[in-house]
Amino acid sequence: MIIKDEIHGTVGFSSLEERIIDHPDFQRLRRIRQMSITYLVYPGANHTRFEHSIGTSYLSRMMARKLGLDGDEAEKVKLSGLLHDIGHAAFSHEGEDVLQGHLGSHEEIGRKKILRGGLSDIISENYRPGEITELRKPYGNIIESDLGSDRMDYLKRDALNTGVAYGIIDIDRIVHTLCMEGGQLCIEEGGLEAAEYLLIARFMMFSTVYMHKTVRIATAMLYRAIEKSISDKTLQPEEFLELGDESALMKMGQSPEGGGYAKALLDRTLYKEVCSFPKQQFSENTEKELSEKLGCDIIVDRPREFFKPVNLKVKTDRGLEPVSEISKLVQSLKLAEEERMKVLVLADEKTRKERRAEIRKSVNDCLAGD
């Protein structure tokens, strides 16, 4: 099986991999957008988990071979990359934030799909399914790590499809300078600049695309729609594992409690920012207090921290050194994130126009403890 990919060109698959790709569980990934609701802001962001999984599998095998794996070992890494997102519910991570308490994480759901059912039957012809879900350390880091195949593919693919210039990643250089030291996936010092560019690209994609103010607003409304549609039993949590994004959104439109949010997303009638404040002042009760005090629907959106600790090690003449200690660029990214993150107070356009001053005063009173 040959697939022409927009990032990696010609990607080949074995007959077993072809059957996995053709399985309904994998084909469902065509109906789950990689970037969820972001297309309401960046119209080109309609690419799906399907394409991303194809790309991740390609890079996983390339990295495995560079690290000295061949034959079945490299193919198992490739297959793990192909199936790494098989457990995603509709709306990807945005849906998972609400659904995790009901269904578990997408990684847990994916393991169940691989270990039982139709996919397991296909995989079992060549491998034990458990070999795919639990890759021997450190080879699992080929997919999920600071320089993993998952991250390299989604950054490059998301940048291409949103039209921004922040996804410039030298994949060839990174792969060429990968190494294993002491059971850790590392990079040689000659690849430090390429690794820095990837980390900078990730920071820029989060701060300008993934955490774009309007994307955050649409995502907060989506979260409400999912939460309330489950609460009023319009949708069962398990249905999000069967439906794609559009069909789930349409069904949420029938929800007595969440339908207003879903319909607003379908029409792109988005809430607006009334005011904002530093995330350090956020309290879990802020939204409830404001809604009760004002008697209207208010959404308080707290930004999620996206610059997770960087665990990458660099192989130098002095031994293995954390990239965060030898790279001034990496050190600066965390500080830059903290300065940009604000809590947004949101309301529909009518409420914002009519009660803007009142809402702002209530927010200030709430933050002051009045």
pLDDT tens-digit readout, 94-131: 777 788 888 888 889 999 999 988 899 999 999 999 88
pLDDT in tens, 254-304: 999 999 999 999 999 999 999 988 877 777 777 888 888 888 888 999 887
pTM listed for this prediction: 0.92
Look at the block and give the residue holding tokens 């004002």. 294
**Residue 94 phi/psi, 5° resolution?**
-65, -40
Q: Classify 297 as helix, strand or coil.
A: coil
Where do the domains of the chain lie, and which CATH numbers do they carry?
A: 1-163+212-269 (1.10.3210.10)
Q: Which residue from 272, 263, 336 is spatially nearest to 301, judged by alpha carbons?
A: 272
Treating both helix axes as pointing N-terminal to C-terminal, what angle do 192-205 and 328-340 enclose, rounded to 10 degrees? 10
- Quick one: pLDDT at residue 57? 97
Reading the block at residue 35, the tokens are 């970037």
pLDDT of residue 367: 78
Average pLDDT of the residues of the chain: 90
Cα(177)–Cα(179) distance, rounded to whole angstroms? 6
Query: With contact defined as beta carbons under 8 Å apart, do 312 and 147 qualify?
Result: yes
